């Protein structure tokens, strides 16, 4: 048998979208998949592995029936990863032949167990139940929950499917939990939201980079190569309550670590802005010619003098002044935000405060400086542009805009009046399950809400109250395990498509292998359901056809892809949106004007608000949740990769030695974290890298280790972002034997 040609594609995980080559081995057949398993991954001994960033060529240890790996992974040279992959990337092919993979549609029986069912029977029954649900309870009784890992084509078609095949407004996606606050702030200030409005490689020439609330050294290790010049200049400034791997890059002359009290990021940014204004470090010409709103900002930050900011944040005045002056030094400065400062009920205002600081310094839209937010999920950028958000149509258009409705309806071949209005943001959508007027039937694509949503006990109860739950996944994720139907779908190496990386660059995902015979692409599933539902419009299963339609639907929108097609992408040209037909795209935004009609950026004064529940009360600690190098998002994939799971099989609760001693906890002890929403059991990791008033849990784990048993579903009033990063908990030692 002649092997298939190598596929130049990108990693299936995070938004850095590291380039890789997949080389199929000769004569290795698709593995006949065994009966699926719904058991959790095996638990092995705890171990801590070192951070690894490598440019490599690794034969992935995929186990197939012949014992031979089916595909070889090589890092591929590309501006973002320069040939490097992290351990998630180079073990990614293991999942193609995972014994947990679902081989055919599965239906839950009356006894609660799953049995195989044909595609025809599954889709016929699902369509009939959707039709009946709509007839009895209205179109908005059907909900759709998408994901930031879906290709552009799937995300686009899912939004279209919801609006014209189901006729529902009730669609949102898990990116609401990631990027919504930064997106809202970017739209408000600049008139458009592209995470990095400049190519990532531009960071490589910066002498000062302020990173707020992002641990890129663990979440996307190849990224740190772009921080080298700033480090060499002593100009890497990292804001984080923990001494993370990224913080450690500031040591030995690399820069500065600011370690504020959890939840005080907004005050810290107001304080930095106060100093910039008070010390006359502002870029007056930039403010005059390119912004509006400075005077109101100057008045509002007057109340945040350095000593007051020190008392609230714990960051010394001399550090605040040093950082403000360094950012204003005019030698190439960037401000970058991540989820640590955005996943709050005031996340939009905190991101706005970071943008305000950038604007008073005159950074955005200039050739060697800027502001950006670091998108996390694989297609977290493209996934928030083309219609799977509750208030959105393709091209980053607003669904309430009559002109947008008319344009998109014409592309879809429907009457604009037939399009539903705005739906509910993710937390409201989830909380509507089982409620009067709420969602009763739900389709889930690329999301594992039972682990990733806040207050998961409430989510679990809501899912149990549904009349119908259909989940498309490769595995029995924790959410799929609760479904009535689980539909097995293709993985990244088995499909064509496009993704849009964290720098707004549209890239090609290419097929390297055939999928197992019982597995289908979600475009095909949508087409088949739309046909059964007698939907208007065309639903293609061809990614290239869907992309061409996406491009037309996006034409004239903020995220205009109308000049892009597969041939252009396959030419290897760097393709950054907006890319109107006839243009060469936009690697760096805002050089001539911002995206508001008058071309000016908006400076919007913001002020801190009380936390939704009291923090730092006697006996409580503040819980921060975050990521580990070895795992991605809810862990549904990475917990099934033996090498990754063996390295980090458990959630470990990081506690400061002083705190641990006061609780009578030693490293390796079992502890219980609790509050009114639930409790989590985890093994203590006693470390001086965390503040004494804080406890950290990774959010990749399920069951009794799920950090989101504790988080709250209070949300940002502008973005709908839940409060993930500051949660009051009590911690106690559990006096029983630990067998991990
Ligand atoms: S940093 Fe790791 S997980 Fe992210 S795209 Fe690169 S290889 Fe994949």
pLDDT digits (tens, 9 = 90+) for 687-719: 999 999 999 999 999 999 999 999 999 999 999
Query: Does position 666 have pLDDT exceeding 80, yes or no?
Result: yes
C-alpha distance across the termini of the chain, in Å: 46
Contact 468, 125 (CB under 8 A): no
Q: What are phi and psi of 727, to 5 degrees?
A: -135, 130
Query: Residue 2: what pLDDT?
Result: 53
Of the candidates 391, 383, 594, the one whose C-alpha atom is nearest the C-alpha of residue 504 is: 383
CA 381 / ligand 1 centre spacing (Å): 15
For residues 648-673, average pLDDT = 97
Fold of 106-177+379-557: Rossmann fold (3.40.50)
Task: Give the strands of the sheet with 370-373, arranged side by side.
Answer: 255-258, 236-239, 208-212, 333-337, 370-373
CA 578 / ligand 1 centre spacing (Å): 25
Angle between helix axes 180-190 and 347-360 (nearest 10 degrees) is 40
Contact 504, 576 (CB under 8 A): yes
In the 8-state DSSP scheme, what is residue 161? I
Label each residue of 610-665 as H, E or C: CCCCCCCCCCCEEEEEECCCCCCCCCCCHHHCHHHHHHCCCCEEEECHHHHHHHCC
Query: Does position 640 have pLDDT exceeding 60, yes or no?
Result: yes
Q: State whether the beta carbon of 159 lies less than 6 angstroms from ligand 1.
A: no
**Positive or negative: CA dihedral 55, 233, 245, 306:** negative
pLDDT band (50, 70, 90) for residue 522: very high
Q: 117 vs 93, 122, 520, CA distance in Å? A: 27, 6, 14
Contact 595, 558 (CB under 8 A): yes
Q: State whether the beta carbon of 17 lies less than 6 angstroms from ligand 1.
A: yes
Q: State whether the beta carbon of 81 lies less than 6 angstroms from ligand 1.
A: yes
Contact 363, 371 (CB under 8 A): yes
Q: State whether the beta carbon of 220 lies less than 6 angstroms from ligand 1.
A: yes
Q: State whether the beta carbon of 88 lies less than 6 angstroms from ligand 1.
A: yes
CA 124 / ligand 1 centre spacing (Å): 39
Query: Per-residue pLDDT tens for 96-113?
Result: 999 999 999 999 999 999
Question: How many whole angstroms separate alpha carbon 424 and alpha carbon 110?
Answer: 32
Query: Does position 36 have pLDDT exceeding 90, yes or no?
Result: no
pLDDT band (50, 70, 90) for residue 263: confident
Question: How many whole angstroms separate alpha carbon 547 and alpha carbon 394?
Answer: 11
CA 378 / ligand 1 centre spacing (Å): 9
Q: State whether the beta carbon of 15 lies less than 6 angstroms from ligand 1.
A: no
Query: Residue 62: what pLDDT?
Result: 30
Q: State whether the beta carbon of 86 lies less than 6 angstroms from ligand 1.
A: yes
Q: What angle do CA 108, 114, 116 make, to 5 degrees?
A: 105
pLDDT band (50, 70, 90) for residue 46: very low
Query: Residue 68: what pLDDT?
Result: 60
Structure tokens at 131: 């039709």
Question: How many whole angstroms separate alpha carbon 488 and alpha carbon 478?
Answer: 15
Query: Does position 63 have pLDDT exceeding 60, yes or no?
Result: no
- 468-500 burial, b if ≥16 CB within 10 A, otherwise e? bbbbbbbbbbbbbbbbbbbbbbbbbbbbbbbbb
CA 89 / ligand 1 centre spacing (Å): 5
Q: State whether the beta carbon of 628 lies less than 6 angstroms from ligand 1.
A: no
CA 632 / ligand 1 centre spacing (Å): 9
Atom 8 (ligand 1) nearest CA: 89
In the 8-state DSSP scheme, what is residue 709? G
Of the candidates 440, 241, 446, the one whose C-alpha atom is nearest the C-alpha of residue 344 is: 241
* Domain map (residue ranges) of the chain: 7-97, 106-177+379-557, 180-373, 621-733
Q: What architecture does CATH give domain 180-373?
A: 3-Layer(aba) Sandwich (3.40)
For residues 129-156, average pLDDT = 97
Question: How many whole angstroms separate alpha carbon 711 and alpha carbon 613?
Answer: 11
Query: Per-residue pLDDT tens for 296-320?
Result: 999 999 999 999 999 999 999 999 9
Q: What angle do CA 483, 475, 489 make, to 5 degrees?
A: 90
Query: Residue 434: what pLDDT?
Result: 87
Asked if CATH classification 2.40.40.20 holds for the domain at 621-733, the reply, yes or no, is: yes
Query: Does position 49 have pLDDT exceeding 50, yes or no?
Result: no
- Three-state secondary-structure class, residue 495: coil
pTM value?
A: 0.93
For residues 657-663, average pLDDT = 98
Atom of ligand 1 nearest to the CA of 92: 8
Atom of ligand 1 nearest to the CA of 221: 1
CA 528 / ligand 1 centre spacing (Å): 33
Q: State whether the beta carbon of 222 lies less than 6 angstroms from ligand 1.
A: yes
- Three-state secondary-structure class, residue 297: helix
- Three-state secondary-structure class, residue 114: strand
Residues 6+ apart with CB under 8 A from 586: 504, 576, 577, 578, 579
**Average pLDDT of the chain?**
92
Query: Does position 628 have pLDDT exceeding 90, yes or no?
Result: yes
Instruction: Count CB atoms within 10 A of the CB of residue 27.
Output: 10
Same fold, 106-177+379-557 and 621-733: no
CA 85 / ligand 1 centre spacing (Å): 6
Residues 6+ apart with CB under 8 A from 252: none
């Amino acid at each position: 048998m002649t092997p298939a040609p190598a596929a130049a594609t990108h990693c299936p995980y995070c938004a850095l979208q590291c380039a890789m080559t997949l080389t199929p081995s000769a004569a290795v057949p698709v593995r006949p998949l065994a009966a699926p398993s719904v058991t959790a991954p095996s638990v092995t001994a705890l171990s801590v592995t070192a951070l690894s960033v490598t440019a490599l060529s690794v034969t992935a240890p995929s186990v197939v029936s012949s014992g031979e790996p089916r595909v070889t992974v090589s890092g591929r040279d590309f501006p973002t990863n320069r040939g490097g992959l992290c351990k998630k990337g180079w073990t990614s092919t293991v999942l193609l032949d995972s014994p947990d993979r679902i081989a055919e549609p599965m239906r839950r029986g009356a006894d609660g167990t799953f049995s195989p069912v044909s595609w025809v029977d599954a889709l016929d029954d699902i369509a009939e139940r959707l039709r009946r649900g709509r007839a009895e309870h209205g179109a908005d009784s059907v909900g759709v929950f998408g994901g930031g890992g879906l290709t552009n084509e799937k995300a686009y078609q899912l939004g279209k499917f919801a609006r014209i095949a189901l006729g529902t407004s009730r669609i949102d996606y898990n990116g609401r939990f990631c990027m919504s606050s930064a997106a809202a702030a970017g739209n408000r200030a600049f008139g458009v939201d592209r995470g990095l409005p400049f190519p990532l490689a531009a960071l490589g020439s910066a002498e000062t980079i302020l990173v707020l609330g992002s641990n890129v050294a663990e979440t996307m290790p190849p990224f740190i190569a772009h921080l080298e010049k700033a480090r060499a200049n002593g100009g890497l400034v990292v804001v984080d309550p923990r001494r993370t791997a990224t913080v450690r890059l500031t040591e030995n002359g690399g820069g500065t670590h600011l370690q504020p009290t959890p939840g005080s990021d907004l005050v810290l940014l107001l304080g930095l802005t106060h100093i910039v204004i008070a010390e006359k470090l502002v870029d007056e010409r930039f403010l005059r010619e390119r912004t509006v709103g400075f005077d109101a900002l100057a008045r509002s930050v007057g109340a945040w003098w350095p000593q007051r900011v020190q008392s609230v944040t714990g960051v010394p005045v001399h550090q605040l002044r040093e950082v403000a002056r360094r950012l204003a030094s005019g030698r190439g400065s960037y401000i970058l935000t991540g989820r640590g400062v955005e996943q709050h009920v005031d996340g939009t205002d905190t991101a706005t405060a970071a943008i305000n600081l950038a604007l008073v310094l005159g950074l955005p839209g200039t050739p060697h400086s800027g502001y950006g937010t670091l998108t996390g999920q694989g297609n977290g950028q493209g996934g928030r542009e083309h219609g799977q958000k509750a208030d959105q149509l393709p091209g980053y258009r607003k669904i309430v805009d009559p002109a947008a409705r008319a344009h998109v309806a014409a592309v879809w071949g429907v009457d604009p009046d037939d399009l539903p209005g705005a739906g509910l943001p993710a937390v409201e959508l989830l909380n509507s399950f089982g409620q009067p007027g709420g969602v009763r039937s739900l389709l889930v694509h690329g999301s594992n809400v039972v682990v990733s949503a806040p207050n998961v006990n409430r989510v679990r109860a809501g899912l149990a109250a549904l009349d119908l739950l259909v989940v498309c996944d490769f595995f029995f994720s924790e959410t799929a395990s609760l479904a009535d139907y689980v539909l097995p779908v293709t993985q990244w190496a088995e499909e064509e498509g496009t993704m849009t990386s964290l720098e707004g660059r549209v890239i090609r995902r290419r097929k390297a292998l055939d999928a197992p015979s019982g597995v289908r692409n979600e475009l095909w599933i949508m087409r088949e359901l739309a046909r059964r539902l007698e939907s208007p419009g065309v639903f293609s299963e061809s990614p290239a056809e869907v992309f061409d339609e996406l491009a037309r639907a996006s034409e004239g929108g903020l995220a205009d892809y109308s000049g892009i097609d597969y041939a252009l992408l396959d030419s290897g040209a760097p393709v950054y949106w907006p890319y109107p037909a006839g243009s060469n795209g936009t690697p760096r935004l805002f050089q001539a004007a911002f995206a508001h009609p008058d071309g000016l950026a908006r400076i919007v004064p913001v002020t801190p608000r009380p936390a939704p529940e009291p923090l730092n009360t006697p006996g409580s600690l503040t819980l921060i949740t975050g990521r580990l190098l070895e795992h991605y998002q809810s862990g549904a994939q990475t917990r099934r990769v033996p090498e990754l799971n063996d390295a980090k099989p458990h959630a470990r609760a990081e506690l400061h030695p002083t705190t641990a001693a006061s609780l009578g906890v030693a490293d390796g002890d079992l502890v219980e974290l609790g509050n009114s929403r639930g409790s989590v059991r985890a093994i203590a990791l006693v470390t001086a890298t965390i503040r004494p008033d804080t406890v950290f849990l990774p959010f990749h784990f399920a069951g009794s280790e799920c950090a989101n048993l504790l988080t709250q579903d209070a949300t940002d009033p502008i973005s709908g972002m839940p409060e993930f990063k500051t949660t009051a908990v009590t911690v106690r030692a559990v006096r029983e034997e630990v067998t991990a």
